[in-house]
Structure 1
């Protein structure tokens, strides 16, 4: 390690690129990335999956929410290298061909978006929320979705869309 003006120069010891593998929306992808690349930037810049949005880039708005191994995370706060070999699902991976995911369809039917910028993160977060199985009431949904901000204020419709899909899923399970 070389000192220059009393400051340690560690850049020479850092690898410039690292090869990682992610299973993204069901397809294995390999990328050679800088170790400091966020998962959000890897998805958008290396894989051209631009549905996941960069909102605040500080983990405060939820626009970048995706699913990693079935759990919702803020991709702007996660280094891609930390998720090597993980299964990643973005908004682009929720539909089955031309058939929308039930939450995508419910968002349309309930007009649960206005500008649409937060919608991919809202939907991915809601998919994760449903998998957690802790949302039983509208208040539960509001609390568990509180990490996803909608600047347009479509919250009542977002909650209604999520409630409908949860209730429909419960009815299907009972049959």
Structure 2
């Protein structure tokens, strides 16, 4: 594993653990330092990935970080998962309006000659992900604004990832069934 890959995986791991770090340190560490952490993580991911998506995430992290820094407000550091869902929704939604969809692009990495039925299927899957990001972002916002820190950390640091994994696994099972019924997808 190269240095760049190892650094990327470390940043992914730290980003996944971010809600738990916030939960463990909120009230003990000034929000400004937590804000600095998320900005460093987001900018680091953007520098390594060199993708527009991560630059959007980093810009939002910087805005939340600045608000947390200036206002000494822990709410701002807890809004990061809401921002990430909003950016993902924007990216996936934009790809529906300006094809190919995100899921089609991913599918073409394995099957460059994706048939029209596969394009339609990937479009539907992209739409399902958009719905997921709306719902997940809404729950992230609700837990940020009205739930305890422990509920926020549980949802955003564990349950949201479990739900995402269930959606991925469920789509994989559906895709297998659809491919058996209509080869070429």
Under TM normalisation by the shorter chain, which class is it? under 0.3
Q: Which protein is richer in strand relative to its size?
A: 1
Higher helix share: 2
Provide TM-score, normalisation by structure 1: 0.28
TM-score (norm 2): 0.27
